[in-house]
Structure formats: C-alpha cells, structure tokens
Structure 1
Amino acid sequence: MRAALALVVLAGFFVLAVALVGGLTALAVWRFSAGDAEGGTWLVVVALAFGGPALWATLRAVFARPEPTGFPLTREDHPGLWRHVDELARLAGTRGPDDIRLVDGANASVWERRGVRYLELGLPLVAGLGVGELRSVLAHELGHYGGGHTQLAAVTFRAKLALELSLRQGHAFGVLSAWAKLYALLAASESRDHERFADEVAVAAAGRDAARRALLRSGPVGEAWSDYLTSYVALALMAGRTPPLLDGFRCYLGHPRRGHELRELETVLAEREPTSVFDSHPPVRERVARMAQVGGGDAPVDERPGWTLLSDIPPEAVAELVGVRGPFATWEELVALSGPAHVRRYADALRHAGRVSKVGGTLADVLAALERGRLHELTGAPVDASLTPEQVRETAVETVTELLACAVADQLVTANRAVLELNWGGMFVLRLPDGAAVHLTDLVGPAVRDPGRVPRVRRDLRAIGVDGV
C-alpha cells in the first residue's frame, strides 16, 4: 500500500509542477490579452525559469538507462561463487541473477532491466568478509528479488532521477520541495520494510550468526577500505604505478593492529549510527537485535576468506575499479618512489596548521603547543556539529598524531638519517642506520594525547636524530 502511495506522490510531484507552470503560462496569456505586456513577459520568464529545468530533467530521466558497471564475474571463470549464489537463490525461493559484477565500494546491490537480473558485489566485501558472512550478503540481496523489490526499479529510477534533477536546479517552489520530502518519507519507510524482509531471508538462508556478523562487519570493512585507498593506494597514484591492490588490502586487514581496530569499530559504528525518518535502511543495531527474534538456523559460520570463492581476478581489473594506472610495481618499490613525497605533504599540512593557528610551524613549536594543552588550536573547530566532545578530541588526537609522525619522518628522511619501510599496521616504519625500526605513531602519540608526556617524547626524538625539538 505504501509503495503504491509513494508512486502516486512521486507522480503528483510532476503533475503539480506542470500545473504550476501551466497556471503561470495562462496568467501570462491573460496579461498579454489585457494589454499588460510587461506583466505578461515577467510571468513567461518565471514560467520558463521554473518549467524549463523541470522539463529538461524529466527528459533526461526518461531516456536514462542504468547500465552494468564493474568487472564481470562469469560462471565460467568463477564457478565457486556461482554455486553459492545458485544454492542461496533456491533457499530464498527466487531466480538468481543473470549477471554478477565486481564493483568498487563496500556494498552490494541488485537491480533488473528488461527481465535481466544484475547483482553488484563490492570488492572490499569480497576481500574483507568470510565465506559465511559473504553468503549472508548474497542471500540478503537475493531476498530483494524474492520480495519483488526490484520489479518497479526502472520506473522509480527514472522518476526519482527526474525529481532529484529538478530540485538540484534550485528553481523549485517551496510547495514542491515539501512534496518531494513527503515522497522521500514514504519511500524510505517502504525501503526499510524491504530491508527487514531481506534480512529475514539472509537469516533463513545463511544462518543467524553469519547474518549478524555480516551486518556488523560490513561498516568497518568499508572504513578500512577508505583508509587503505587514502593511505596506501595514494602512493600508487602519486607514482603512476600499479601494485598488487587486492593482495595489499588482504595484508592490511591481516595485520593484528587492523584486526583489533575493526573489531572495536563494529560496536562503535553500530552504537553511533544516526537515525532519521528519511533513512532507507534501519540502523544496524536495530537490524542485529531483530535477527535474534527471527526464526532461523544457527548453522556454523564458514570462516574461510570470502575471496576464496573467486578464481584469480586480473590485477588490471582491480586497478581499473579503483582508478590506478601505470606499470607494475611492488609495494616496497612504491614506498621508495612515493613515500618521501607523501610524508612531505603531511609535514607541510602540519606546518600550515601551525602557522594558521599562530602556534608556529616547527616541530619545536608544535611540541610546545601540545605541552601547553593547545591541541585543538592545531585542528580548529569541528566541521560536524553532531560530534560529542570525546569524539572531537579523539579525531584531533588521531589527526595530529599522523601529521606529527610524518613531519618527523620528513626531517629524518630528507637528512638521510633514516629510510621508509612499508607497515600495514600504520603506514610507514622508519629504519635507522643502525638497523633499528621506529614506529613513529607509537613514538609521538603519547605527546599528542597527554601533555605531560611531551618532555619524554622530546628526549626520544633527539635520541633518533631529530633536530630542533
């Protein structure tokens, strides 16, 4: 019922827009016929200013065609994955996809066009989830097929696109903006019901434990993927080289520190997830709690890595997904090529923050500011007003720790007193001439977190050859 009502409201948006434009046009004709050329002209201008963008947006949406993207995972090349998909489709009581694509992003989705069913599977999920958890993700998406949630996808896709494009022009009257919000409210409510239905399918097909673990872990895996791209893949972009990207993410996730961070993030993200009546998905904590009430088996969770379901993925395919180009290079070679420039960029960012905040741009200035408890002057006011004071402080500590570590590395590497080595648990390790390894974030972190630790950190920095502190 709500789905039909949402479509009626969606159609009503365009009916209302046409009515307003038509009314303005009729008024313009009336003013012209009454001899008021100036008034009629202004009404025509207003009608065109409002109706032109809306008409253009509607035409664009009518001719828009969703197209599959990403790397195709065919039956011939990846029979292991397809065996699981076929099995889960039978358990879900639906026809499986005709086309599976590997895409960027920690997400999975299904859609169909002209009877062809598509399933898009995020590379981070394949690399970061176990087989049992990945089966739950697949079962959830197949549940959308079984629930008929994709049957109206083509209609709603074009209508929603037209609505978004119309509002994006900035010409919508207040009544149309309110109407659009009403549609978003109805559509979000219906979408949340779809997600609950798909969750029930995931529990029934893959097991309750696997389904709950998949929900809790998917968010942290997405955060890990984002950090991996920012911290490590950035080296490849700077050097114009292509490293083994999938192997790199596996190494990232396999580091003990990363594993600990991901486990902690599961609870943190679930607890802090905001809620809104416009959300298309219920919050993860609610979905996980509800799964405890859903009838379903407690089958043992398959702990094998999810990527074992796939045959070898060509490195160039992964590189294309994440936008990396260039000749092959190992990760160690990338550190030598891009590492010094990377730490220099972060060191420059710290110097800039010091100058803007009047703290000072040298390492000595920054340490002195930290000793006086002036951490937040380096980071400025938080952009997100919803953050708690504890969250603001933790973000500031993490940011300044990373910048300070890079500033120290920049000085030592530039002076040929150390070289950079790859560290999957924290970007770089500094290797000193005597062979000693220095983990800089561990070294400088206490000074950022506790002003009373600054004198000790100063002594440690001097001991490894850092000048001017």
Structure 2
Amino acid sequence: MLRAAASVLMLLGFYVIALIQAALVLALVVWIAVEGHLGAGIKLGFPLLVAVGATFVGLWRAIRTRPEPLHGLIVAPHDAPELWGLVQHLATEVGTRTPDEIRLVPEVNAAVSEDTRLLGLIGGRRRLYLGMPLLQALSVDQLRSVVAHELGHYSGQHTRLGAVAYRGRLAIGHTIGRIGPWNPVGWTFRGYARLYLLVDNAASRRQELDADRASVRVAGPDVAVSALRELPIIDAAWDFYFGRYVSWGWEAGYAPDDFFGGFGQLVKARHEELAKLRDDEPEEHRSRWDTHPSNAERIAVMRTAPRTARPVDGRPAAMLVPSIATAGFALQQAVVDVGNRQVLPWPQFTAAAATANLQRNADRVFRSLGRLTGVADPGLGTLFDLVAAGRLGELAAEFHPDATRKEAAAKFAGPMDLLFTLAAIRSGVAYWRHSWTGPVTLTDAAGAELDFAPIAALAVSPDTLEEARAALAAAGIRVEAAAIVERRATASGSDVVGAMANLKIDGLHTDLVLLDRGLVFVPGPKSTDNGKDRLRALLRSGPVEELATRFRFLPYEEIAAATVTKRTPVRAELRTHDGATVTLEERWTGEQLGESRDALLGVLDRIAERSVV
C-alpha cells in the first residue's frame, strides 16, 4: 500500500503547490497595485493565475476519470473450463481471489485490473487479460508462469493502486499540457511531475519483481525465465506477422478472414527460426524512468530462487481453450474493424495484396512514362515504343539518378521485370503462392516458379526488344494487360516521417505533414501558439491517406526540382513536372515534432540531387 499512500500524498501535493503559487501570484498583484501599477499587475498576474487554474482543472478531470477495461472477448467458464480451472488453481497457490472475468485481447501481453473504490481501499470486480498471441505461442507451463505473475499483483494488492496511479499520471498530463512552455508557473509543475514519475516508476518496478516471486514460486525459476524470455520473441513475431503478412493487404483494401489464426500458423511454420532467437540472452538498458525492470535484471533475480522438481506440461497453451480457432474468429469480430475492406481467405488475401502492391509500383513507372511521352493512358506497349526509339534512358534516369542514361537503361531491367510480372498475372498465366515459411512466390498453373528476369534483360535494348516480345507471346503474356490504373499518386500506405507547424506555403499560413511519399499542406492559423498540439491532434484525426485527400497533397514523384535557398530557417522552391512552382518558408516561430526539419531538408536535398543529373 506504500505506492497508494505515495500517490495520494503526491496528488495532494499538486493542490498544495497550486495553492501556494496562487497565493504568491495574488500577493504579487496586490504589491504591484499598491505601488501604483494595477494594470501592470493584472497583466502580469492573469496568465500566471490561468496556469494555476489549469492545475485544478487537470486534477478535477483526473479524479473523475476511470480507466476503461481493455476491449476484448470475454471467455466464460463453460467456454474454456480447463483455462478457468488453471486460473482458479493458480489463484489458490498465489493466495488471492480468483478473477471475476477472463478476457482475451489482441495484444502480446497479459494484465490484470480491479474496479476499486475509495482510492483503492475497497476492492471490486477483477479482470484477467490474456493476449491471444500468448495462447498461440506459449506452452501451458509458460502460461502458468505468466498468469501467476499477474495474479501476484492481486496478492500484493497492486491492483488496488491502479486507479490512483492512473489518475496521478492523468493529472500530470492534463496539467502540463495546459501550461505553455514559457510560463514560469509551469516550471515548478514540470519539476514536481518529474519527481512524481520517479517515485511512481520506482514503486512499479518493485511491484514487478514482487509479482515475479509469485511466478517463480508457482512455476519454478526455469519455467519463469523461459516465459519471460519468450515474450519479446512473441512480440517480434507479432510485429513481423503484421509487417510481412497483414499490413500490405490491409492498406490495399483487403482483410484476412482469419486474423489471429494466421499468426498461429506462422508460429508453427517458423518454429525453428523462433528457436534460434531463444539462444540470445536479452540485452536491455533500462532507466529510472521505466515502469518495469529490465528482463536481464528480472532473470538474474529469478535464477537465485531454489529449484524444486515439478511436473512438466509442455502442451501448447492453446489447448486450454477447446476451440482456439473459434475464439480467434470471435475475437476478430469483437476488436477488428475491417471497414469496407474485402475479407478473403489467406491464399486469396495474399494474392490480392501482392497484385495490388505490384500494380501500385507499376503505376509509379507508368505515371513517369506518361509525363515523358504525353500518352494519357500509358502501359507496357508505350514503354516498348520508348525502348524501340532508343529513349529508355530518359525515363530510367529518373529512377537511377546516379547513373548515366545508358547505364540507367540497363538497370531498368528490374522495373521491366516487375511490369512483366504484372502482365503475366493480368493475363492469367501466373499466380501468387502463399507461404508461412517464406515470401510469396510467383508460379505457373502447375506450381513451378516463374522468373521473367532473362526476358526483362532483353527488353531494355532496342536490339533485342523483338526477341523479348516473342518470348512474352510464347508464354501467353499479353503486353496490353499491363497498363496504368492509378493515374494520380496517392498517399495510400504512407508513413508519417515528420510534421511542422507555422510555415508559409506560397505565402499562406500552413502546417506541413511529411510523408514518405509526399507532402501534405494543411491550412493553418496566423497564430503561432500551440503548434505542436495542433500537429498531434491533426495526426490523431485519421489515417494519413485521408489527410492527403482532405488537404493538398504533393507527391515527391511530381516534383521535378528543388532549390534550397536557406537552411535555417528553411527556405525552398519546388518546381513540379507541369511547370508549377511551390515556395516553402519556415518561420522563426515555427514548431516541429521530433527532428522534422532535418527530415524535410533530407527530402529536399535528395530531390535537388536527382534534378541535377
């Protein structure tokens, strides 16, 4: 209960500091007024009183706010009797009350919560959250260790403090967020906030070590260590799964029909790869600001515990839920919003995603081809005409700016291979093969892998172009099948690399969002206040591709040249392929998120280098 007492006292400390500062500000105003400068006193004291008032507002909101339960799938005892039996048994061993609810969540995590009253003095409904990926990747023994750790938070009465700690951190956020960086009142509160976090985080780290003792006592040190070491491996596998299998199709407008089942299949298929990761000792460097000790520190403490013989249960933890597949589907329905995306089985999802990605890359080539040739709807046939005319180097130079035109034409065999693959897919003679053990592969109808690189090497030269045409025809590939679809570049699939407030674009007040595919210009106010808050709110308002449709979007591929006339603050002129000019002017009062200015200069420098060649 020490953390609860500390949290309550330090929350009260916010009020005390606020009252003291309010009294000092009022005394200052009165003194200045007595000296005959009432107007100056009010002008000086008003912003200080506003900052003090922000503290009371933040504290009031924090006290009234309750943490919401994690969104997930409630598992009733009759749905998974063996899982509930395990949890009830562990609760008895740990010496605590069984949770009232078990909820599956879409995260590589396990957690507990408790609805308490009177600042944690009176307990309430308990929830145990289990990440579906943990059930799919851990053994029963390892899951026992993880659950025992979480139940250890109950036996140590750590969850009684959850609401207090949550509200304390919320109070800090509300208070600091409402006070400007240059207001002297804020300096005191920021210092106090640092002290609060130091105290609270240190208590949190002690609680984690305390919960680890429950895990070791129930599961044994070897199992506890293996479970703790397994969590970052599962986390890495989950990130890999999203990045390699889910995200590209999701961004293209598709969704897999078995979102969580796919991860389970990946874990089984890549078992040997994951095993190799287990051989590496964790290397972490934690600081006093972290809420958890490093895994290395936790493992070192675990290994000091005495070893006793225990029965081994190496079964997959998924066996604790009678139908993990059904649970996965139900969880997907509960937590995954597919929107208007087309839901497909995994093989079709992968094929649709690969084709969409292929078309997007091809469209990038076709748009440049259209600008060069003036053809409204360019395709592979248009490109062959350019090769026959001996002009491929003009197009290829845009994609290989460091090479001569002759060298660039030879290097264009790579993009040509991509276009041939698209033509083969659209012609119905090539297919994508899904795999959980490796990347998607291109095959013919019989399942044999296809490679168009040799034909692409022939197609980049006028001398061997007809030979390439004949090879494509013999393979049943129609040249006209590869054509442009997306005539205007979009921000679909883009990532945010930076954001800057209070610029002038073509003389107008503008906020700038830097994407990895272009620039988004958002009309901004004349006022330079709260620029960072405005940028954060903008980025939270929706997906970046939606921002690019709501506001002016300038893709990098449409910028023909960039001239940086000043680097601090940034002054630049952009010239697009259609002859338009965009002027960019950073203001001294501008604000940025992270190192956005450096990111912008990097983009401008690359465009400038490309335009020189």
Pick the TM interval, shorter chain: 0.7 to 0.9
Whether 2:257 is the aligned partner of 1:243: answer yes
Aligned counterparts, 1:14-413, within 5 A: 14-32=15-33, 34-68=35-69, 69-114=71-116, 115-171=124-180, 173-234=186-247, 235-236=249-250, 238-255=252-269, 258-266=270-278, 268=280, 270-271=282-283, 273-311=284-322, 312-313=326-327, 315-325=329-339, 328-344=343-359, 358-359=401-402, 410-413=418-421
Question: Relative to structure 1, is the Cα distance of residues 310 and 113 closer, same or farther in structure 2, using a 3 angstrom cutoff?
Answer: same
The one-letter code of the counterpart of 2:54 is: P
- Gapped runs of 5+ residues in structure 1? 370-403, 439-459
| Residues 420 and 153 of structure 1: CA distance in aligned 2, closer, same or farther (over 3 Å) | same
Between the aligned partners of 2:298 and 2:56, the Cα distance in structure 1 is 40
Letter aligned with residue 274 of structure 1:
H
Find out whether 1:422 has 2:431 as its counterpart.
Answer: no
CA contact (8 A) 2:254 2:349 kept: no
Larger Rg, first or second structure (1 or 2)? 2
What SS does the aligned partner of 1:275 have? coil
Tell me how far 1:227 sits from its aligned partner: 2.2
1:423–1:14 Cα change, 3 Å? farther
Going from structure 1 to structure 2, the CA distance change for 1:409 and 1:58 (only over 3 Å counts) comes to farther
SS of residue paired to 1:67: coil
For residues 434 and 74 of structure 2, what CA distance do their matches in structure 1 show? 32
Whether the aligned pair in 1 keeps the contact of 2:18 and 2:56 (CA below 8 Å) is no
- Give 1:82 deviation, angstroms: 0.7
Contact residue 343 and residue 409 of structure 1 kept, 8 A: no
AA aligned to 1:321 is: V
Runs of 5+ consecutive residues of structure 2 not aligned to the other structure: 117-123, 369-396, 462-613
Aligned amino acid, residue 28 of structure 1: V
Contact 2:7 / 2:168 at 8 angstroms: preserved in 1? no
CA distance in 1 between counterparts of 2:404 and 2:235 reads 34
Deviation at 1:276, TM superposition (A): 0.7
Q: Distance in 1 between matches of 2:61 and 2:416?
A: 53
Shift of 1:360: 7.1
Who is 1:445 aligned against?
Answer: none
CA distance in 2, matches of 1:55, 1:75: 45
1:107 Cα deviation after fit: 1.0
Shift of 1:411: 3.2
Distance 1:116 1:108 in 2: 17
Report 1 or 2 for greater relative contact order, CA contacts < 8 Å, sequence distance ≥ 6.
Answer: 1
CA shift at 1:215, angstroms?
Answer: 0.5
Indicate the structure with greater helix content: 1
1:161-208 CA-partner distances (Å, limit 9, x unpaired): 111222234536223222222222222222111111111111111232
Change (3 A) 1:461 1:242: closer
Structure (1 or 2) with the greater strand fraction: 2
Structure 1 CA distance for aligned equivalents of residues 410 and 49 of structure 2: 60
CA offset digits 1:189-233 (Å, max 9, x no partner): 221111111111111112322211111111111121122223322
Task: Give the whole-Å Cα distance in 1 for the aligned partners of 2:361 and 2:305.
Answer: 49
- What CA distance in whole angstroms lies between the structure 2 residues aligned with 1:181 and 1:309? 44
Quick check: 1:204–1:296 contact (8 Å CA) kept in 2?
no
Q: 1:46/1:101 Cα in 2 relative to 1: closer, same or farther (>3 Å)?
A: same
**SS state of the match for residue 420, structure 1?**
strand
Identity of aligned residues (%): 32
Per-residue CA deviations over 1:285-309 (Å, capped at 9, x if unaligned) read 2212221111353434422222221
Deviation at 1:10, TM superposition (A): 4.3
1:413 is aligned with what amino acid?
T
Displacement of 1:282 in angstroms is 1.3
C-alpha separation between the residues in 1 aligned to 2:114 and 2:199?
22
Task: Give the count of matched residue pairs.
Answer: 408
Equivalent in the alignment of 1:376: none
- CA gap 1:14/1:108 in 2 versus in 1, 3 angstroms: farther
* Distance change >3 Å, CA 262–CA 43, structure 1 → 2: farther
The alpha-carbon deviation at position 8 of structure 1 amounts to 3.0
Contact 2:245 2:350 in 1 (8 A): no
Distance 1:7 1:345, change over 3 A: farther
TM-score (norm 1): 0.76
Amino acid at match of 1:8: L
